[in-house]
Amino acid sequence: MWDERKDQNRWQMKFILPEHNEALRQLHLAKQKIERPVLSEEQFAEFEFVISSAVSEDLPLEFDLYNDGFIREVNGRVVYVDHIRKEFRVKDKCGDTNFVKFADILNVKNAPSD
């Protein structure tokens, strides 16, 4: 009598080479990536208003950033605006400085105060 489970087990891999494991991991990551969203002029104007208000009052912000197909979150206070490089320097709770490029911003909102 034919045993379906036995036949399936015959074709399963008993081990995976590190190269295959890495390729599977990369494939899984590639499936999770998103396209860069296109933002409207109104959204940019809103971001500018929120950021300028927070900078003038020294309030923390939450940034959602596009990072090579994924969304990264940065929380902290804007300590410097570099108009030449088109980026913000954001200091987080740990005291680390994060570089936030203008073009990578998908959303920005006021963060709860420390």
Q: What is the pLDDT of residues 1-39, one digit of tens each?
A: 555 555 555 555 566 677 877 887 777 777 777 888 888
Model pTM above 0.75: no
Domain-located, residue 8: no
Question: Within a domain: residue 28?
Answer: no
Residue 22 lies in a domain: no
Q: Is residue 63 part of a domain?
A: yes
Domain of 71: which CATH number?
Answer: 2.30.30.100
Is 12 domain-assigned? Answer: no
C-alpha 92/C-alpha 113 separation (Å) is 12
pLDDT of residue 2: 54
What pLDDT digit, counting tens, does each position of 25-34 carry?
A: 777 777 777 8
Q: Are 81 and 90 in contact (CB under 8 A)?
A: no
Q: Under 8 Å CB-to-CB from 99, ≥6 apart: which residues? A: 87, 88, 89, 90
> At 112, is the pLDDT very low, low, confident or very high (cuts 50, 70, 90)?
confident
In the chain, the number of structural domains is 1
Question: Does the residue 97 lie in any domain?
Answer: yes
Distances, alpha carbon 75 to alpha carbons 19, 90, 106, in Å: 36, 8, 14
- Any domain includes 19: no
CB 92 within 8 A of CB 62: no
71 assigned to some structural domain: yes
Domain that holds residue 93: 41-110
